Structure 1
Amino acid sequence: MGHDIARLHHVGHVVDDMAQAITLYERLGFAVPPPSCPAMPLREGAAPEPFGAANTHADFPRSFLELATCVRDGDTDRLPAGTRLVPLDAPAELLPRLVERISETSAGLAACLDRFQGLHILMFSSSDIDAAAARLTAAGVRHGGVNTVRRAAPPGAGTPVETVRYLEIDGDGSGAGPGSVAEGRVGLVADLDPDVQGARHLDHPNGAVDLVEAVLCVADRELAAVQQRYETCLGRPARPEGPARVLDLDGAALTLVPDSGLAALLPGERPAALPALVGCTVAVRDLSLTRDLLRRNGLPLRETPSGDLFVPAEAALGTAVVFRRAAPPAAAP
């Protein structure tokens, strides 16, 4: 039986200073383009100024790492040179709602930063997002339905417009807001269009080729409930692996680890809060070459019990960045 959720789509690293974050990711060996940010005039007749939220990606063929930050009105100090301003272009009757949604996104990122700087976004890739939405509804999982946005495709893509369809999970409890759970923004996105994604920069100096794991740390007493929640959302059972519970996807995984077991999984790491996305893992072509690059760039390295390398959260703006040797391609039948 096939699954309507196939793999990890992206994780989002919410940062206070975008220029600092891009410098870090370049030292980590990722190719990161300048960020994009909405822009609009703050007064009649003025030039458009950035507002809301800015983001950029380190892209892979089927997934990506996102860097995101909130931008206060007129605040350009923390945006790097080369930031692409995207003037809001919408009919007058739709513009207020568009501005409201962007402002809500910015407020959400600000709330994330109030908790800690680090990973706050976890999105899964769905081959049939409408079927997945129906399944979640039938299972009693609250969500905001499937949204559709369109944006300019990158140069070189076979289409001028990229269509993105996504769904956000709503938290439980009276205090939970729409589109957010305790650990952050979690949801589904329709599979990336390979033609559009292939037009983006996919060649990274560290040899990274895919996002293959996200690690969520929870209080020990909450592990069973969180496991059940994600088993329902993903339509897959978890398996035990030491103190952790692993939900296997197609070539990737979500790892749930109790607070008491995190040091066994990522030696020396402690969560900034609970629950928290404490790390992500990328697959690389040659782990020894990646190690050499990270050392040349002066980054501290630790090793997991399974032999992966990682840069600790204290050196990576609040999240452990793990590097794993990519699995060899499957043999042709």
Structure 2
Amino acid sequence: MATEITRLHHVGHVVRDMPAALDLYRCLGFVTPAPGYPAMPPREGGAPEPFGAANTHADFPGDFLELATVVTADGRVPADAQLVPLQAPPDVLPALVERINATRANLAECLERFEGLHILMFSSSDIDATATRLTAAGAGHGGVNTVRRPAGGEVETVRYLEIDGARPGSAAEGRIGVVADLDPRIQATRLVDHPNGAIGLVDAVLCAADAELDAVQARYERYLGRAPRAQGAARIFDLDGATLTLVPASALAMLFPGEQAPALPALVSCTVAVRDLAAVEKLVRNNKVPLVRASSGDVFVPAAAALGTAIAFRQAEESAGQGAATTVR
């Protein structure tokens, strides 16, 4: 059954050391702009200093891959980091700081669990319809939020909701939610040619304990408004040009040889479509990053070499007009 959920909107890789993460992603052939760090003076009259949480994106036409970290007193800040001084009316500033600190606390809790993928956001063509459907299905959520942020001289409006599970704003496997489809006009201003030829997210893998797989599947049927198909031991939710794969812990190594989930349930992998898989293999190996061949024919960087998550690459063709991967060769 088709719903208003369209594709993967983004996945988020939560890391402890942003400079190390930037080095890794650039070795894998992604263009990752200088991360943004919110900043405030620690005292009146002082220079702004970074605090809270920082992030950057590897952007594609219809989705993106996020790198996020918490700011700590002894943590490394990239040399090219962009400090973003908070500017808001006095009556708004405390709420803004509180929201940033809440994000930081959420990410810190993720890192206590493990370093890796903790954010999974789906894209919706009608976010209000998504909220109504989730409520009717008994899936708790925090309602539709709206934020506005600068985007290349314009203001981008982002509308999203977070699904509540283990605690407000977070399911057992991390921060799960739905975001209104990206504005293609604004997203186009962020696009670059990645050296690895990446053109879009095509899969995310969620690993669950064998005994809990049916319950996790039922949750995601409510979230997505559709049923998965079976593929061996895995359950696959088909989206527009992408998939969400649920896999029992006992079968994870069949998909990704040598991989083990750091916790259960856990987001253990994301897959990016590329224009020329052979070229990616050459680029990554030349940069001294290990690659493993998956049973699907994809290649992936093991989690042990990729800051806690398997990062996979898949040969795909571009769809006309979208630039997103639709056909696997």
Contact 2:226–2:237 (Cα < 8 Å) also in 1: yes
Q: CA deviation at 1:3?
A: 2.0
Residue pairs, 1:65-104, within 5 angstroms: 65-72=65-72, 75=73, 77-104=75-102
* Cα displacement string for residues 191-221 of structure 1 (whole angstroms, at most 9, x for unaligned residues): 1111111111431000100001000000000
Contact 2:119–2:176 (Cα < 8 Å) also in 1: yes
Residue in structure 2 matched with residue 11 of structure 1 by the alignment: 11
What is the distance in 2 between the residues matched to 1:275 and 1:261?
14
| SS of match in other structure, 2:133 | helix
* Cα displacement string for residues 65-87 of structure 1 (whole angstroms, at most 9, x for unaligned residues): 00000113xx3741101111111
1:321 to 304, 311, 315: 311
**319-328 vs 307-316, which moves further:** 319-328
Residue in structure 1 matched with residue 162 of structure 2 by the alignment: 168
What is the distance in 2 between the residues matched to 1:270 and 1:35?
30
2:145 to 147, 150, 154: 147
**For structure 2, which runs of at least 5 residues remain unmatched after alignment?**
322-329
Q: CA deviation at 1:107?
A: 0.6
Q: CA deviation at 1:181?
A: 0.5
What is the distance in 1 between the residues matched to 2:221 and 2:241?
17
Distance verdict in 2 for CA 1:328–1:164, change over 3 Å: closer
Is 1:296 the counterpart of 2:286? The answer is yes
1:276 to 266, 281, 287: 266
Residue pairs, 1:37-52, within 5 angstroms: 37-52=37-52
**40-49 vs 205-214, which moves further:** 40-49
Q: CA deviation at 1:287?
A: 0.7
| SS of match in other structure, 1:327 | strand
Contact 1:117–1:317 (Cα < 8 Å) also in 2: yes
TM-score by length of 2: 0.95
Residue pairs, 1:189-228, within 5 angstroms: 189-228=179-218
What is the distance in 1 between the residues matched to 2:25 and 2:59?
12
Residue in structure 1 matched with residue 131 of structure 2 by the alignment: 133
Contact 2:2–2:226 (Cα < 8 Å) also in 1: no
Q: CA deviation at 1:2?
A: 4.4
What is the distance in 1 between the residues matched to 2:189 and 2:74?
29
Contact 1:31–1:201 (Cα < 8 Å) also in 2: no
Contact 1:61–1:202 (Cα < 8 Å) also in 2: no
Distance verdict in 2 for CA 1:267–1:148, change over 3 Å: same
**For structure 1, which runs of at least 5 residues remain unmatched after alignment?**
none
TM-score by length of 1: 0.94
The number of aligned residues is 321
What is the distance in 1 between the residues matched to 2:143 and 2:3?
19
What is the distance in 2 between the residues matched to 1:10 and 1:139?
23
| SS of match in other structure, 1:37 | strand
What is the distance in 1 between the residues matched to 2:178 and 2:192?
22
Residue pairs, 1:114-133, within 5 angstroms: 114-133=112-131
Is 1:245 the counterpart of 2:235? The answer is yes
CA RMSD of superposed structures (Å): 1.3
| SS of match in other structure, 2:317 | coil
What is the distance in 2 between the residues matched to 1:277 and 1:38?
27
* Cα displacement string for residues 107-147 of structure 1 (whole angstroms, at most 9, x for unaligned residues): 11111110110000000011100110110011111000010
* Cα displacement string for residues 259-295 of structure 1 (whole angstroms, at most 9, x for unaligned residues): 0000001111001111110000000001111111111
Contact 1:62–1:192 (Cα < 8 Å) also in 2: yes
Q: CA deviation at 1:177?
A: 1.8
Amino acid at match of 1:6: T
